Structure 1
Amino acid sequence: MRTDQHGLPISGASAAAARHYDRAIDELLHFRAEVDAEANAALEESPGFPMGHVLAAYLGLLTTEAEDARTARVRFGAFLRRVDVTSLPPRERAHVAAVRALLAGDFLTCGALLAEITAEHPRDALALIAGHHVDFFTGDARSLRDRVGGALTAWGPGDPHYGQVLGMYAFGLEEAGHYDRAEEVGLRAVELDRRDVWAIHAVTHTYEMRGRFGDGLRYLDARVPDWSAGTFLNVHAWWHYCLFALEAGDVPRVLAIYDAALADGQSCMELLDAAALLWRLHLEGSEQPARWRALADAWRTRVAEPFYAFNDMHAVMAYVGAGRLGEAEKLIASREAYVAGAPPGVTNVDMTLRVGLPVCRALVAFGRGDHRAALDLLYPIRHRVNEAGGSHAQRDAVQRTLLEAALRAGARDVARTLVSERIGVRPCSPYNWLKQAAVAEAFGDRAAAAAARTRAGELTRAL
């Protein structure tokens, strides 16, 4: 039996198919679009190649695109009808079980099965990165850290993908709150491979979470050729760049980047970055009607059917931003019907019930000017928004909406509490101090408001 580049046996693959499979894993670890072509080439060479079919299924199911998932279900179903799964080697049978769970919409069981594979085969790069994606999509920070951390000692500097494993680990460390260690590991990964966009992305997150916005801009500026083209993360990396620029108050620069890099997004991931960025501007009174209309148009087909609550939330942002509250309410009604009739075990049903629907309803209430209703919907779920997936940085759009709703609803004590929490974690954020000024104004303390605005200005000039 042949082995893959990491020493694991793979059945049913010709020499050419194995080479394509190895290249596909390399492209996947580098987040490059060529992964699809290599995965397809592997199956063209060996149509019955089990791990080739497993890889193709993960690629289709982990995009969070309903159409891709449908295609993956059909393709993998055809493979299952042609193969005796019981005859496959144990690791490959375990992957088939993980894919089946994912096909059924059970992200949590899939993640657990992949963890079992990793425990027995820590050098299974596909199990690692597929599990890493599942952890991200379910907002499980502890597993983002420990899934890769538990496999790390099986890898070493002599492995060609050691840097990519470190990059995944850096992101897990960051999401679990270990910011200094995450930066250290991420920088080491980039040192091993300067074009490791996931590691660059992890380092960028550490700067965002610690309020080191100027460092983030300088870090990205110094590496533009390494992260700005040729991968699935180009738009997302520009989004991070815009978050730093927003803290600096440079809205013209943000809009120029939006038009050049974000406005023509083609995937749900890219569209949600665009929505989250425009929504931050919307919360601060910077209306962008033409940009919102184009974005709302782009979302319509992407959320025609339910698949991932995190996408739904950002589609509703686009509808509200475009003034299409009727479309937002139609989407909400469709998700209410979905959760009422869905079979048990579908992870997205719980995501939608516990987080997706409350957030979507709050966004519509905010768009209608009913800030008290938005506050009442968001405040009870503010500590579990992670259950709908995404990163801390991405979910901050919801937390900012909650804060703005509290301010506009006149809920001074709630607003004061929320701002105090934010300043305690990121005292270097100009945004946080501007909101402290708004809270002080609400309490009639003009001196404190002026002092907070002064502090915001000092921090902005220091970026």
Structure 2
Amino acid sequence: MTDDQHGLAMSGASTAAARHYDQAVDELLHFRVEVAAETKAALADSPGFPMGNVLSAYLGLLTTEADDARKARARFAAFRRAADEASLLPRERAHLAAVQALLDGDFLRCGTLLAWITVEHPRDALALIAGHQIDFLTGNARSLRDRVGGALNAWHDDDRHLGHVLGMYAFGLEEAGHYDRSEEVGLRAVELNPRDVWGIHAVVHTYEMQGRFGRGLRYLDARLPDWSTGTFFNVHTWWHYCLYALESGDVPRVLEIYDAVLAGGQSCMELLDAAALLWRLRLEGSEQHERWRALADAWPPRVAEPFYAFNDMHAVMAYVGAGRVGDAERLIAERAAYAREPRPGVTNHAMTLQVGLPVCQAIVAFGRGDHASVVELLYPVRHRIHEFGGSHAQRDAVHKTLLEAALRAGLHDVARALASERINLRPCSPYNWLKQAALADRLGDRAAAAAARLRAGDLARTGGRA
């Protein structure tokens, strides 16, 4: 029996295995690729180490890569066959149950089981970060906030990973709409650990949601060495940088970053960032045919089987952007057949049926120029989009697609309501005022269109809200 770095007992680990496990958790909290090597080293030293096997399973399942999940299932099944589970510590058995739920496709049950581990063991860093990622994958903003908030008082100023816990909490606060508090907590997290990329990411999200894109660009530029290399989160943070640049109207800078960083993505997370960025450009009339074709070629093996509907949406974006509408329709047909099969307890099944399919169908309709159908498909589900995961910033591509389709379809009342929602929520966004100008043009109100464009230009020059 040994204790981990946060004082929690573990069975089945040698001193060396426990040391590798602690380092693996540290690497995971930093989003560094070395987490895989440290986990393998722990299991090489102590193959039956329960928490080492649990960590390995989470790593394989939370990437949203179907192939990684398949391998994780095989490894974990082999571990369970050899393990004497009755002899494990209660916390370890609880983790086994959470992992098994995840292996079975029940993200929601896994998140609930991890929440109970956190209640009983608030210093279980692995339960916190795994649960945090589950909340992100299921779009559960309240749990993103409260899972970590409920554990925070058990962490102290001299804790090695206090900053990382604060970084997670800052992201949860942002997704739940507490922007001022999120900024405060996120900046404190990064102060404690300047290379906490998740903490940096939380601050970046907060500035995005507040329309402070000028501030966001300055923040990322000032911290460039801390976030741009050495982690598997680099590409996503560059994607956020591009969102700021898009808001300021700097499309050449966006394409420069795309070609230098996003175009070479391999994982689902990197590919979906690339698709989401090119789709935003496409909505504004910038087609990027060559970039779309290269991206579409990378998607087929990633969506060969149903696993995560949020990934499916971005694959469909890539196919439509590349002019491969047939591939998009085949993927949708495969997912529709999957959705018709009864799969109780499989979270992605519900995601696909309730949100994934209408969103994917709407993207194809947009690609075909059938903008009225886009509105028919998206308007009824627009307040449920969070149910298939991602962040507010990521899901905004869907909301922008709906608004653009309403404008192009001549559905002026819908477009007016959607533009009004956006402007009153974020009046410092140039994009929102440009859409207001486009609507005014369609209504023949030249004065209102000119005033809205002037407002958009002023905001682009000043960087939005200070």
TM-score bucket (shorter structure)? over 0.9
Measure, in 2, the Cα distance between the counterparts of 1:158 and 1:307: 40
Equivalent residue, structure 2, for 1:298: 298
Measure, in 2, the Cα distance between the counterparts of 1:331 and 1:417: 32
- SS at the partner of 1:169? helix
Instruction: Specify the code of the residue in structure 1 equivalent to 2:53.
Output: H
Instruction: Specify the code of the residue in structure 2 equivalent to 1:41.
Output: A
The alpha carbon displacement at 1:341 in A equals 2.1
Equivalent residue, structure 1, for 2:321: 321
The answer to whether the aligner puts 1:439 opposite 2:435 as a matched pair is: no
The alpha carbon displacement at 1:84 in A equals 2.0
Equivalent residue, structure 1, for 2:361: 361
Instruction: Specify the code of the residue in structure 2 equivalent to 1:55.
Output: L
The answer to whether the aligner puts 1:412 opposite 2:412 as a matched pair is: yes
- SS at the partner of 1:427? coil
The alpha carbon displacement at 1:338 in A equals 1.1
Equivalent residue, structure 2, for 1:335: 335
Measure, in 1, the Cα distance between the counterparts of 2:402 and 2:258: 24
- SS at the partner of 2:301? helix
Measure, in 2, the Cα distance between the counterparts of 1:349 and 1:405: 27
Measure, in 2, the Cα distance between the counterparts of 1:170 and 1:86: 38
Equivalent residue, structure 2, for 1:116: 116
Deviations 1:400-435 (A, max 9, x none): 000000000100000000011001111111000000
Measure, in 1, the Cα distance between the counterparts of 2:37 and 2:370: 49
Q: How does 1:188-337 map to 2 (within 5 A)?
A: 188-337=188-337
Measure, in 1, the Cα distance between the counterparts of 2:115 and 2:418: 36
Structure 2 residue runs of 5 or longer lacking an equivalent are: none
Instruction: Specify the code of the residue in structure 2 equivalent to 1:223.
Output: R
The alpha carbon displacement at 1:337 in A equals 1.2
Deviation larger for 267-276 or 80-89: 80-89
The answer to whether the aligner puts 1:174 opposite 2:174 as a matched pair is: yes
Measure, in 1, the Cα distance between the counterparts of 2:85 and 2:386: 36
Deviations 1:303-337 (A, max 9, x none): 01110000000000000000000000000011011
Measure, in 1, the Cα distance between the counterparts of 2:421 and 2:385: 16
Instruction: Specify the code of the residue in structure 1 equivalent to 2:223.
Output: R
Instruction: Specify the code of the residue in structure 1 equivalent to 2:438.
Output: A
Measure, in 1, the Cα distance between the counterparts of 2:335 and 2:87: 41
Instruction: Specify the code of the residue in structure 2 equivalent to 1:9.
Output: A
The alpha carbon displacement at 1:342 in A equals 4.6
Equivalent residue, structure 2, for 1:448: 448
The alpha carbon displacement at 1:445 in A equals 1.1
Equivalent residue, structure 2, for 1:395: 395
- Identity of aligned pairs, percent? 77
Instruction: Specify the code of the residue in structure 2 equivalent to 1:165.
Output: V
Deviations 1:140-180 (A, max 9, x none): 00000000000000001110000000000000000000001
- SS at the partner of 1:263? helix
- SS at the partner of 2:271? helix
Equivalent residue, structure 1, for 2:139: 139
Measure, in 2, the Cα distance between the counterparts of 1:166 and 1:460: 32
Deviations 1:184-212 (A, max 9, x none): 00000000010000000000000000000
Deviations 1:213-265 (A, max 9, x none): 00000000001000001111100000000000001111111000000010000
The alpha carbon displacement at 1:343 in A equals 2.3
Deviations 1:16-51 (A, max 9, x none): 000000000000000000000000000000010000
- SS at the partner of 2:299? helix
Measure, in 1, the Cα distance between the counterparts of 2:19 and 2:243: 40
Q: How many residues align?
A: 463
Equivalent residue, structure 2, for 1:184: 184
- SS at the partner of 1:365? helix
Measure, in 1, the Cα distance between the counterparts of 2:98 and 2:307: 18
